[in-house]
C-alpha cells in the first residue's frame, strides 16, 4: 500500500457528509490541510468544531494552496459543476459527492475535463465498498451467478417523512429536479451496475410528491436533524418516492423503488439478483450477510469474513470475520483505494471506485426517469 501521509487533502462543505469525509481522512492518516464552508464565518466556526486547523475564505484561496493535492466536494449539488471545473483547472485531484451535477450537460463537460486533466476524479458511491457487495461483484465477474435475468430492490428512508422535515435537497434549485431518485436511487443504480456489469438501457418511471407543502426553517438546519424555530410554508415539486421498471442491455429486467417518506426505514438499501446459474441478495440493514440461492443445492448465507471471500471482497474488508463493519468502513475502503491511486499516479487495474463516467451515466439515467414520468412511457437511457 502506498504511503498516503504525504498527500494533502481539503474538504469543501462542513455538514453531515463533510464531517464523514474528515473523520475518514483522519482514520487513514491523510493530512487535512483545511476546509471551506458556505461562508467564511461558517467555515471558521465549523473548522473549530471539527478540529481542523485551517478554514479557507474562498475556493480560490484553497486552490492556490500548493500543499493541497486532493479536494473533496461535499457541497450542495448546485455547486458541484463550478467547483469541480475550478479544481481540475487548478491541477488538483477531486472526489465529488453524488449526484455529479445538476444536469447531464454539466456532467458531460465535467467528464471531458477530468479525462483531459489526467487527474484522479472519483464520485462518492461508497455503497460499492461494503465488502460483500465487492464480493458479489467478483462472483458475477467470475460467472458464479450466470447472466443477469432479474434484479429487484429499493432504497427507502424516513428522514423526510413529515411536513416539518426540511433539507436543501427538497428544493429543485439546490438539488435538481429529482430528489429521491437522484439522491438515493442513483446509489442503488450505481451499485447494481457495478455488481452485475450491466446498465439499464430503458426505464418506465412514476414519481410521487406525497407532501406538496413543507415548513422551511428560517434559520440553518443540518442534514438528518430536526427543524427548530420559526418556519415558512414552501411548495415542494421534487419526488418523495418513485417506482421504476428497468430493461438491461443483455435482456435482463429490473424493478426499483425509492422513498424518503417510509417511516422506520433509516436507510434500507437492498438488491436481489436472479442469475441464470444462481441468485444472490443483500441489504444494508444486514450488511454482514450475503444470501446465495441455489436450485439443486442448499442455499447459503455468507457472513463477511475475508478468509472466506473472493479477492475482490476481501480487499475491501478491514476486520476479520466476527468483527462487524458498517457505513463508516465503506468510506475508509473507498478513500484508501482512491488515495492509493493518487499516490500511484492513476487508476489501478483492480480499482473499483466510481469514475466520472459512472457519475455521468447516473445523470443520463435521471434524464430518462424524468422523461418517462412526464410521458408515462418507456424511455431509452442515453449512452455517453
* Domains, the chain, with CATH or none: 9-126 (3.40.50.720), 128-325+350-375 (3.30.360.10)
Residue 3 pLDDT: 82
Cα–Cα distances in Å, from 173 out to 72, 90, 169, 216?
A: 22, 27, 9, 15
Residue 363: pLDDT over 90: yes
Establish how many alpha carbons lie within 13 A of residue 376's alpha carbon, considering only the half-sphere containing its beta carbon.
0
Using pLDDT thresholds of 50, 70 and 90, give the confidence band for residue 330: very high
H-helix or E-strand containing 371?
helix 356-375
What is the distance between the alpha carbons of residues 307 and 321, in angstroms, rounded to a whole number?
Answer: 8
Using pLDDT thresholds of 50, 70 and 90, give the confidence band for residue 284: very high
What is the distance between the alpha carbons of residues 131 and 324, in angstroms, rounded to a whole number?
Answer: 11
Give me 373's grid cell. 414520468
Residue 77: pLDDT over 70: yes
Quick: pLDDT tens for 153-183: 999 999 999 999 999 999 999 999 999 999 9
Bridge-based pairing of strands 32-36 and 9-12 is parallel
Residue 368: pLDDT over 70: yes
For the chain, what is the mean pLDDT? 96
Quick: pLDDT tens for 181-223: 999 999 999 999 999 999 999 999 999 999 999 999 987 776 7
Which runs of consecutive H residues, i.e. helices, occur in 128-180?
A: 131-142, 172-175
Give me 135's grid cell. 464480493
- Residue pointed to by grid coordinates 417523512: 161
Residue 224: pLDDT over 70: no
What is the distance between the alpha carbons of residues 342 and 28, in angstroms, rounded to a whole number?
Answer: 14
Residue 227: pLDDT over 80: no
Residue 80: pLDDT over 90: yes
Amino acid at each position: 500500500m502506498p504511503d498516503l501521509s504525504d498527500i494533502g487533502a481539503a474538504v469543501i462543505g462542513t455538514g453531515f457528509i463533510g464531517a464523514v469525509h474528515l473523520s475518514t481522512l483522519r482514520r487513514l492518516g491523510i493530512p487535512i490541510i483545511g476546509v471551506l464552508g458556505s461562508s467564511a464565518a461558517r467555515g471558521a466556526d465549523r473548522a473549530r468544531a471539527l478540529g481542523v486547523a485551517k478554514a479557507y475564505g474562498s475556493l480560490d484561496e484553497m486552490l492556490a494552496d500548493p500543499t493541497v493535492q486532493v479536494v473533496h466536494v461535499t457541497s450542495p449539488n448546485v455547486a458541484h459543476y463550478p467547483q469541480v471545473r475550478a479544481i481540475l483547472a487548478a491541477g488538483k485531484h477531486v472526489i465529488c459527492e453524488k449526484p455529479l451535477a445538476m444536469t447531464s450537460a454539466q456532467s458531460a463537460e465535467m467528464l471531458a475535463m477530468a479525462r483531459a486533466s489526467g487527474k484522479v476524479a472519483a464520485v462518492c458511491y461508497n455503497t460499492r465498498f461494503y465488502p460483500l457487495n465487492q464480493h458479489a461483484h467478483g462472483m458475477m465477474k467470475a460467472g458464479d451467478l450466470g447472466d443477469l435475468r432479474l434484479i429487484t430492490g429499493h432504497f427507502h428512508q424516513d428522514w423526510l417523512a413529515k411536513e416539518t422535515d426540511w433539507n436543501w435537497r427538497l428544493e429543485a434549485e439546490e438539488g435538481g429536479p429529482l430528489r429521491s431518485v437522484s439522491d438515493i436511487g442513483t446509489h442503488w443504480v450505481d451499485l447494481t451496475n457495478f455488481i452485475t456489469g450491466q446498465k439499464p438501457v430503458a426505464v418506465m418511471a412514476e414519481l410521487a410528491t406525497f407532501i406538496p407543502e413543507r415548513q422551511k426553517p428560517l434559520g440553518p438546519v443540518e442534514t438528518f436533524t430536526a427543524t427548530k424555530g420559526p418556519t415558512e410554508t414552501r411548495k415542494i415539486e421534487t419526488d418523495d418516492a418513485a417506482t421504476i421498471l428497468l430493461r438491461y442491455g443483455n435482456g435482463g429486467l429490473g424493478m426499483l423503488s425509492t422513498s424518503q417518506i417510509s417511516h422506520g426505514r433509516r436507510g434500507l438499501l437492498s438488491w436481489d439478483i436472479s442469475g441464470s446459474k444462481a441468485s444472490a441478495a443483500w441489504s444494508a440493514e444486514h450488511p454482514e450477510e450475503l444470501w446465495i440461492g441455489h436450485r439443486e443445492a442448499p442455499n447459503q448465507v455468507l457472513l463477511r469474513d475475508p478468509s472466506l471471500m473472493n479477492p475482490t471482497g476481501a480487499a475491501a474488508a478491514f476486520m476479520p470475520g466476527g468483527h462487524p463493519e458498517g457505513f463508516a468502513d465503506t468510506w475508509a475502503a473507498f478513500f484508501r483505494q482512491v488515495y492509493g491511486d493518487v499516490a500511484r499516479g492513476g487508476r489501478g487495474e483492480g480499482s473499483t471506485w466510481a469514475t466520472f463516467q459512472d457519475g455521468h451515466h447516473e445523470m443520463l439515467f435521471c434524464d430518462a426517469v424524468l422523461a418517462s414520468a412526464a410521458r408515462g412511457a418507456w424511455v431509452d437511457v442515453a449512452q455517453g
